[in-house]
């Protein structure tokens, strides 16, 4: 399988200003499903760091009191104690819009001040496009005396409230306020990936590029700059230690680091025209889809994104799209809800028009029938290419905010039949297939060790199985929940339909505020990424 059939080439990355490798080989990628799993691993890895080691992180939201385990430590304690041991702790957290707008300005400032007071340096970063955010969730751990144990974590999980949930989906006791549809303790589904090998160096470079950006931290907002100056907030990045050599190869995974940076002024010196390798990477991979596209996504909206899926469905009569999304948006209210609904309604309609019988969209509930908020951002194509990241399937994530994803190709062929479901000679690959099956086993209440996978491997059988399970659960609800609850946690997603007079204002609000376009004007006119 030629790597360039699936991964972007240097030319296709179209950002020569960045020194990021085109892709890296010899890595080991491990999906960490659920926040509790990720937090447990992060605590173990951080606690093993010694003086002189590096802990670099980026985040969209950080809650200083977020417990990493039921008895602690909090995220602040974990990172602060590392700094006190002599670990070099550096962080970039989005400065955020004001907390009055239901964002995390106060929390992000508190985590910055607490870790910095312990000897680390955490900066509030507002070098974004107007109305945008830094949405990357990355932790990089480098061990100067033991590089074989270097590890990085990337994906959808923030170091904040609501994320520490597990397979039972009872929710994190520490919550972020959400739509009342999710109750007082919103159940939460999310995925992160742990990476070892040379790709850790590429992710280290991603952090260093942002850290070394010479533009003012509050470049987007002069008032914020003045406010921070008066408060004595650290507004300049201190020096970073010299970057270690890449860790040695340790596994069979090829990894391509994909990113989004918008076109901004003043320009990023590492992406002067922005970077849209996430959008380009998806576009290339979707062109090779033949049998099954599986996505989990918080939003799944934008006609520009949906058009790519619709085109793949039109061009390949055996291709199915299976998507898992939240049952309800995370916000409620007369003004906030309709723009969140109209984008998905529009995107799903495009896909369903292209292939009415081959688009299967579900939402998730726990065994108490409480809806689970799907925050994961992942895609698996034909059990070959798999991506986990911070990026949602929408125009904002692909053009406007800063985002980070890791696409994986496994050198290990999966010997379970069908060995080559797409028929292109690539063969199914162990990492991608195992990631999909792990998620489907949980969603369908199957044996977590893989003892009931017979009808989940072949794409056609798998789609029938997931449809049947979701329909059975829906029928049980429709009947008034008579008799035993059928196995499984998926139900057919039934998006809310907005009346025409609500769409009149919700659609432009969605396009301008919720899903803006961060591409240069030339790319917009050309309808390219």
Overall average pLDDT of the 479-486 stretch: 97
Query: What number of other Cβ atoms are within 10 A of residue 490's Cβ?
Result: 24
Furthest CA-CA distance within the chain: 65
DSSP notation for 253-282? EEEEEEEEE---SSPBTTBTT-EEHHHHHH
- pLDDT at 368 (0 to 100): 97
Overall average pLDDT of the 86-105 stretch: 74
pLDDT at 389 > cutoff 50: yes
Residue-wise pLDDT for 45-84, tens only, equals: 999 999 999 999 999 999 999 999 999 999 999 999 999 9
DSSP notation for 311-330? HHHHH-TT-EEEEE--SS-S
DSSP notation for 7-65? SPPHHHH--TT----S-EEEEEEEEEESHHHHHHHHHHHHHT--TT-EEEEEES-B-TT
- The lowest-confidence range among 24-28, 324-328, 463-467, 523-527 is 523-527
- pLDDT at 127 (0 to 100): 92
Residue-wise pLDDT for 415-456, tens only, equals: 999 999 999 999 999 999 999 999 999 999 999 999 999 999
DSSP notation for 444-473? HT--TTSTT-TTTSSHHHHHHHHHHHHHHH
- pLDDT at 218 (0 to 100): 75
E strands, 411-518, in order: 490-492
Judge if pTM exceeds 0.75.
yes
Residue-wise pLDDT for 137-168, tens only, equals: 999 999 999 999 999 999 999 999 999 999 99
- pLDDT at 326 (0 to 100): 98
- pLDDT at 232 (0 to 100): 62
Overall average pLDDT of the 451-470 stretch: 97
- pLDDT at 229 (0 to 100): 62
Overall average pLDDT of the 118-124 stretch: 94
Both tokens assigned to 249: 């190869």
- pLDDT at 245 (0 to 100): 98
- pLDDT at 112 (0 to 100): 86
- pLDDT at 103 (0 to 100): 47
Distance CA 281, CA 257 (A): 10
Residue-wise pLDDT for 252-262, tens only, equals: 999 999 999 99
Residue-wise pLDDT for 264-281, tens only, equals: 989 999 999 999 999 999
pLDDT at 100 > cutoff 50: no
Q: Who contacts 381 (Cβ-Cβ below 8 Å, separation ≥6)?
A: 285, 286, 288, 289, 292, 293, 294, 432
- pLDDT at 228 (0 to 100): 63
Mean pLDDT of the chain: 94
pLDDT band at 231 (very low <50, low <70, confident <90, very high): low
Domains of the chain, start order? 25-252 (3.30.870.10), 275-514 (3.30.870.10)
């Amino acid at each position: 399988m030629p790597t360039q059939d699936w991964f972007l080439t240097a030319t296709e990355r179209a950002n020569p200003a960045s020194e990021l490798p085109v892709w890296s080989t010899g890595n080991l990628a491990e999906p960490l499903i659920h926040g509790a799993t990720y937090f447990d691993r992060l605590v173990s890895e951080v606690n093993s760091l010694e003086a002189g080691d590096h802990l670099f992180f980026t985040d969209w939201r950080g809650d200083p009191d977020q417990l990493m385990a039921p008895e602690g430590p909090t995220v602040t304690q974990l990172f602060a104690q590392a700094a006190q041991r002599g670990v070099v702790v550096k962080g970039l957290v989005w400065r955020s819009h004001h907390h009055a707008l239901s964002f995390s300005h106060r929390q992000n400032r508190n985590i910055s001040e607490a870790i910095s007071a312990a000897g680390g340096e955490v900066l509030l970063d507002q070098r974004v496009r107007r109305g945008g955010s830094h949405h990357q969730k990355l932790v990089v751990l480098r061990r100067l005396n033991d590089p074989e144990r270097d590890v990085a974590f990337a994906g959808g999980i923030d170091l904040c409230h609501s994320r520490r949930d597990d397979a039972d989906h009872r929710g994190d006791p520490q919550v972020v306020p959400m739509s009342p549809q999710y109750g007082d303790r919103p159940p939460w589904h999310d995925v992160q990936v742990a990476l070892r090998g040379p790709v850790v160096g590429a992710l280290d470079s991603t952090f260093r590029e942002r850290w070394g950006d010479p533009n003012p931290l509050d470049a987007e907002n002069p008032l914020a700059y003045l406010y921070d100056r008066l408060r004595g907030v650290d507004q300049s990045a201190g020096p970073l230690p010299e970057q270690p050599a890449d860790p040695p190869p340790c596994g069979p995974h090829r990894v391509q680091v994909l990113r989004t940076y918008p076109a901004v002024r003043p320009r990023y010196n590492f992406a002067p025209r922005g970077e849209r390798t996430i959008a380009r990477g998806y576009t290339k991979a979707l062109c090779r889809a033949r049998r099954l596209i599986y996505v989990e996504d918080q939003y799944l909206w934008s006609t520009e994104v949906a058009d790519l899926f619709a085109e793949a469905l039109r061009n390949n009569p055996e291709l199915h799209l299976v998507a898992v999304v939240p049952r309800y948006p995370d916000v409620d209210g007369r003004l906030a809800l309709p723009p969140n609904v109209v984008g998905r309604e529009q995107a799903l309609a495009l896909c369903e028009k292209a292939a009415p019988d081959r688009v299967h969209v579900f939402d998730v509930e726990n065994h108490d029938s409480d809806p689970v908020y799907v925050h994961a951002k992942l895609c698996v194509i034909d059990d070959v290419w798999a991506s986990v990241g911070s990026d949602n399937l929408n125009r904002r994530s692909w053009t406007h905010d800063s985002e980070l994803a890791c696409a994986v190709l496994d050198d290990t062929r999966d010997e379970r039949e069908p060995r080559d479901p797409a028929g292109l000679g690539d063969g199914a690959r162990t990492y991608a297939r195992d990631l999909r099956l792990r998620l489907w086993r949980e969603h369908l209440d199957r044996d977590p060790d893989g003892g009931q996978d017979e009808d989940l491997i072949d794409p056609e059988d798998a789609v029938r199985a997931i449809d049947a399970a979701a329909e059975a659960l829906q029928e049980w609800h429709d009947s008034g929940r008579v008799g035993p609850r059928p196995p499984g946690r998926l139900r057919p997603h039934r998006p809310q339909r907005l009346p025409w007079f609500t769409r009149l204002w919700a659609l432009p609000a969605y396009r301008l505020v919720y899903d803006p376009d961060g591409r240069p004007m030339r790319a917009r006119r050309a309808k390219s990424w």
